[in-house]
A and B are shown apart, each in its own frame.
Chain A
Amino acid sequence: MSDQSVIEAQQRRSSRMQTIYRPLILAALALFVLVAGRLVSESLPSWIAVQTVLSLGMFLAVIAFGQGLVMLTGGLDLSVPGVIALSASTVAVWVSFMDGSLFVGVLLALGVSLLFGIVNGVLVSVLKAPAFIVTLAMGAVLEGFSLFITYGRKSPESPELLVTLFSGSGKLFGIGIPALLFFVVGIIGFIIQARSRFGRNVYLLGSSLEASRIAGQPVNFIQISIYAVSGFGSGLAGLMLVGFSGNAQLSLGTEWLMPSIAAVLVGGTIIGSGRGFWQSTITAGLMLTAITIVIQSTGVSSGWKSVLYGVVVLVALLSTRSDIGRRRRKKISQDPL
């Protein structure tokens, strides 16, 4: 059984590669990028920069969480901007026009987001409609709804509390609250995805829907709850962003969809498989955020900036490819010894 034990050793390594090394590499890259930023701006690296990366990374993480779960099970959630817009305008309108309490407003917003997440889930799991297109269409519908509730009104303003919490004006021990929240989000996300029963069910479903079914897993329920969580996450992000930017508007979420998908992919999650880890996703989010900050302050024109960004993403993908470690080891094993 010698080969078996060898395989085992390799397995240990490659799984550590996934759960520990890759996130560390990505985090290190994020820092490195900020340091290398020196080349384009002499005020980099700086404590402010780190804080900014963390707080923007926090928003990204909240969205990327649900997105990641959906992608693990072979889908994509394109309704993110729609949900964000809807939840944001719900809370804003409720508080600034209905003079409702913030608490109720938040519950309403999250409830609505959850609801439409569930609708997505039902369409995908029960009616077996392609997630890509269901969530795309749902996104359009939700944008319509958020237009409707803000329609003909003066653009609704955000509740004060949300602003102080998420605009970065509020601080705790001199650190912006969003930056601190990043770690909270990170830990909660890790517990849910890596340690909880729900997270386990997601991995099982992602690894093999048929096997889950035969093993007596409530597959439809799980799939629905995944989209529900994704909806809820986007709703939460909506609340945070409405606090961040001070008022609700349709475009609140549009600039976050692609980054969330990119973070999950660069984090090494493979669509529709049981492979992918939360710690990699969020660290990938940090790295991408850091990169955008540095690229932004290069002198090149905006066109070249996005070219640069795309190239960096490609490089990041290549450099953190999951089988790269194995390939190196193969070369070693080829020499006569």
Chain B
Amino acid sequence: MNTKFGRIRQIVTDGTGRAVIFWLILMTIWLSLQSTQGMGVDARLIQSYLVLALPLIVASIGVTLVIIMGQFDLSAAGVIAVVNVTIASTLGSWNPLLVVVLMMALGGFIGLVNGLFVILGKLPAIAVTLATLIILQGLAIVILPQPSGKVPPFLVDGVRAPFVAVGIIVVIIIAWMLFKRSRSGLYMFAIGADPEALHLSGLPVKKIQLKIFVIAGALYGLAGVLMSASLTSGDANAADSFLLTTFAATAIGGTAFVGGRGSAVGTLFGALTLLAIPKVLFVFGVSDWTQKVAFGLLVLLAVVAGAFSSLRKNRESMLLAPYSTPTEGEPITATKGGNA
């Protein structure tokens, strides 16, 4: 398995690796066709593509964390909408950093409420977050009856400044690498796999779950800020599509919906893929009904390919499972694995 082929095989069967590959393919198609059509490829095109992707990336990562923990969260779209209209209606001229902190706190608070209902109220997460979603989307319209308002200019220009988007993405990747290896990170994966075992080990499972809900909420808050920055205004309906796209990004990123496994980096590229698809369709001149069909099929392709290869992977791992001699003899040898 340590042959070059083996390693390539490993990348392809690994969710994250596959997401990256799929994304790279789409990007190549897009940019190559773009450059052959009229205007060439300039940095600003890619820059604005990344800026547009940022909110989805951050929100989807929030969703991913909750899913890794073995729970479900539909409230992202609601939080983002509320944050967006709050900024546009009242915080338009506030200190941008304060805005970021406040909005992440707001998101975190909503995450806390979700978590309390799920963990203490013993209600299914999907049901609770569906309810909070409806509530939050309503609140958004109450706060901002019609699109208007402005976003702190520093935020707007800040996010658009060259290399900021790339910078944020790099930061996200590093942050994930660290979080994954932090205690909370390990516990998150553990809960997703077997909360009972963690409980028996004497660890505060509920507290950890709550923590993840809060972190996810805070990330939605941040996503709301980023979206506001790219919309430069408030619109109560602007975030509606996040309800489903966040999950699509997570799935394309190779995170299984069963808990205990998954990767934020995969999700990051899942989100980038989702936003690359329209670009590809555009350069192909795909419009009208074919647009929806092609989009659907590409998403299916991404996900099914993932499911398919991981299916084979499982089968192999079954066959390659190691021997063990429980007597104190030769050591057990098997593929070591980290989370995700």
Selected contact of A307 from candidates B138, B293, B306, CB within 8 Å: B138
Q: Is B51 an interface residue (CB 8 A)?
A: no
Chain A hits for B140, CB < 8 A? 303
Chain A hits for B137, CB < 8 A? 306
Binds B, one of A95-103, A175-183, A259-267, A329-337: A259-267
Chain B hits for A323, CB < 8 A? 122
Selected contact of B300 from candidates A123, A147, A305, CB within 8 Å: A123
Contact B303 A130 (CB under 8 A): yes
Kindly state the interface size class of chain B when it binds its partner.
Answer: 35 or more
Contact B132 A138 (CB under 8 A): no
Contact with B along A296-324 (1 / 0, CB 8 A): 00000111111111110110011001010
Chain A hits for B132, CB < 8 A? 310, 314
Chain B hits for A139, CB < 8 A? 296
Q: Is B197 an interface residue (CB 8 A)?
A: no
- How far is it, in angstroms, between the C-alpha of A304 and the C-alpha of B140 when the chains are bound? 10
Selected contact of B133 from candidates A138, A265, A310, A311, CB within 8 Å: A310
Contact A134 B303 (CB under 8 A): yes
Contact B134 A313 (CB under 8 A): yes
Nearest CB on A from B185, distance (A):
23
Q: Is A140 an interface residue (CB 8 A)?
A: yes
Q: Is B22 an interface residue (CB 8 A)?
A: no
- How far is it, in angstroms, between the C-alpha of A102 and the C-alpha of B140 when the chains are bound? 45
Q: Is A144 an interface residue (CB 8 A)?
A: yes
- How far is it, in angstroms, between the C-alpha of A311 and the C-alpha of B131 when the chains are bound? 7
Contact with A along B232-263 (1 / 0, CB 8 A): 00001000000010011001100011000000
Nearest CB on A from B135, distance (A):
3
Say whether chain A's binding surface is mostly helix, strand, loop, or mixed: helix
Contact A130 B134 (CB under 8 A): no
Q: Is A49 an interface residue (CB 8 A)?
A: no
- How far is it, in angstroms, between the C-alpha of A142 and the C-alpha of B132 when the chains are bound? 29
Contact A130 B296 (CB under 8 A): no
Contact A143 B292 (CB under 8 A): yes
Contact with A along B119-147 (1 / 0, CB 8 A): 00111101110111111111111110100
Interface centre among A130, A142, A302 (most CB of B within 10 A): A130
Nearest CB in chain A to that of B252: its residue: A133
- How far is it, in angstroms, between the C-alpha of A313 and the C-alpha of B131 when the chains are bound? 6
Q: A133-B299, A303-B140 are in contact. Are A140 and B292 (CB under 8 A)?
A: yes
Interface centre among A140, A265, A313, A317 (most CB of B within 10 A): A140
Nearest CB in chain A to that of B308: its residue: A127
- How far is it, in angstroms, between the C-alpha of A144 and the C-alpha of B127 when the chains are bound? 29
Q: Which residues of B contact A (CB under 8 A)?
A: 117, 121-124, 126-128, 130-143, 145, 236, 244, 247-248, 251-252, 256-257, 288-297, 299-300, 303-304, 306-308, 310-311
| 21 A-B pairs (CB sep. < 8 Å) | A123-B304, A129-B306, A129-B308, A133-B247, A133-B252, A137-B296, A137-B299, A140-B295, A140-B296, A141-B296, A143-B292, A144-B296, A147-B288, A265-B130, A301-B145, A306-B134, A307-B138, A310-B133, A314-B117, A317-B128, A323-B122
